[in-house]
Amino acid sequence: MRKFYKSHKLDNVCYDIRGPVVERANKMIADGMDIMQLNTGNPPAFGLNAPDEVIRDIRVNLKDAEGYCHSKGIFPARKAIVQYYQTKGLFGLDEEHVYIGNGSSEMVSICVQALMDEGDELLVPAPDYPLWTASAFLSGGKAVHYICDEENNWYPDIEDIKSKITDKTKAIVVINPNNPTGAIYPKELLEQIVKLAVEHDLIIFADEIYDKIIYDDVPYTPMSTLTDETLVITFNGLSKSHRIPGFRVGWMIITGNTKDTADYLEGIDMLASTRLCANVPAQYAIQTSLGGYQSIDDLTKPTGRLYRQRDIVYERLNQMEGVSCVKPQGALYAFPKLDVERFNITDDTQFALDLLNKEKILLVQGTGFNWPENDHFRIVFLQSPVVLNECMDRLEHFLETYRQK
């Protein structure tokens, strides 16, 4: 039989959140070793479970969820999403412009695939959540990375964005609150991005999955509330805020200039229909989750577990020689910088492997988020305070003598 090879569309695709370092960790776990996992934003794995009310509503409605539903999702869930954005100051959104998916990741893939032709470009932040870069290349296009400036709270560099817009640029991705940096962008900065998008006829993809995980009352502005002049597609879901990533509950909303983008929206409809519908039982979690008491607020307030864990990681990292970290304002991650000269680091994947092999700590190297240098890594601060402090002890001990060979 002839040999078969993977598609060349995968040549520029990386997803090191579950890459070679994780493969090594899985082998170590299979051999009976205990690994401290700081690599994946999976709240239930660390005792951060879904609210009981959410689970109850899914159970109560299971009998009504056996069949397919509308390709955009069940009406009560879409209506609840519309009402949620009304509380954010967005009016005029109707249920027909709400799509529910198997996680927001599915919606990202659909939107990028429906938009991009061979040679088209998608502006993506560096560092990024790697699904965005992968989706651009898998759609036959190209991801062009604009820099987020660590010296300026990890905010997008507007001048760098301007320099990378070409006649092939179709859209710009804005991840806010940001994964992996934890940055939250001020309204004035978002307005500058909107201005560029309007000037250059760009669609805005607003990845806002962490919009409920905000610390220190930092002001937050949804991108959809800032413009009617260009198309804005916002992605969100329940995986992080309501701790049900395994249920795969996400959505996108379409706002702004829908008149001039009608053909593109028809393409989205086509792709949404080809996968029939999203997981129906899980859709019954949406209405309950978006209304009433929000348990995530207890976790992000100063006495809350996520807040305390964020502070442990931030403070401990900045006490280590050769390490610096911008304080995360939202989400579940820190993205510290390493002094590569001090540690002689030329390959950050090797750094992650060395740390794993010696200290049994699993994290993701910075290049796994399409960061251009070998000088960063991401830490997920979902482990309990006791475990996080032990992880920081081990990391500090490792770095005291580490020099990459």
Residues 230 and 369 in one domain: no
Neighbours of 60 (CB within 10 A): 11
CA contacts within 13 A on the Cβ side of 330: 26
What span, in angstroms and rounded, lies between the C-alpha atoms of 390 and 348?
22
Domain range for 383: 8-49+297-401
CATH code for the domain of 152: 3.40.640.10
Listed residue (138, 145, 174) closest to 160, CA to CA: 145
Indicate the DSSP class of residue 232: E
**Residue 193: what pLDDT?**
98
Q: Would 387 be classed as within a structural domain?
A: yes
Q: What is the pTM of this model?
A: 0.95
Distance CA 153, CA 143 (A): 23
**Residue 222: enclosing H or E segment and its boundaries?**
none
Nearest to 215, CA basis, from 155, 154, 299, 334:
299
94 and 234 in one domain?
Answer: yes
pLDDT value at position 10? 80
**Per the domain annotation, does 310 fall within a domain?**
yes
Identify whether residues 19 and 147 lie together within a single domain. Answer: no
Asked if residue 282 and residue 306 are part of one domain, the reply reads no
Q: Are residues 119 and 218 in the same domain?
A: yes
Do 44 and 124 reside in the same domain of the chain?
Answer: no
300 and 306 Cβ atoms separated by less than 8 Å: yes
Q: Note whether 184 and 286 are same-domain residues.
A: yes
Q: Are residues 61 and 76 in the same domain?
A: yes
The model's pLDDT over 235-259, given as tens digits with 9 standing for 90+, comes to 999 999 999 999 999 999 999 999 9
* The domain boundary residue, chosen from 290, 310, 336: 290
φ, ψ for residue 397 (rounded to 5)?
-60, -40
As a whole number of angstroms, the distance between CA 290 and CA 3 comes to 50
141 within a domain of the structure (yes/no): yes
Residue 149, in any domain of the structure: yes
Q: How many CB atoms lie within 10 A of CB 81?
A: 24
Quick one: how many helices (H) and strands (E) in the chain? 15, 15
The CATH code of the domain that includes 308 is 3.90.1150.10
In a domain, 3, yes or no: no
The pLDDT value given to residue 18: 66
Task: Identify the three-state secondary structure at position 249.
Answer: strand
* Positions in the chain whose pLDDT score sits under 50: none
Residue 2 forms part of a structural domain: no
Residues 130 and 232 in one domain: yes
Which tokens belong to 170? Answer: 């179709």
Q: How many domains are there within the chain?
A: 2
The residue out of 245, 274, 290 marking a domain boundary is 290
Nearest CA among 124, 97, 90 for reference residue 224: 90
Residues 247 and 329 in one domain: no
71 in the same domain as 199: yes
Q: What stretch of H or E contains 123?
A: strand 121-126
Residue pair 284/78 in contact (Cβ under 8 Å)? The answer is no
pLDDT of 91 reads 87
C-alpha–C-alpha distance, residues 281 and 163, integer Å = 46
Which residues 6+ apart lie within 8 Å of 74 measured at CB? 100, 280, 283, 284
Boundary (domain end) residue, out of 290, 323, 350: 290
- Same domain flag for 251 and 119: yes
In a domain, 1, yes or no: no
Query: 3-state secondary structure string, 185-201?
Result: CCHHHHHHHHHHHHHCC
Q: Read off the pLDDT of residues 59-96 as tens digits, 9 standing for 90 and up.
A: 999 999 999 999 999 999 999 999 999 999 998 899 99
95: tokens are 């249920």
> Would you state the pLDDT for residue 16?
62
- Residue 175 in domain: yes
Q: Measure the CA–CA gap between 233 and 256, rounded to whole angstroms.
A: 9
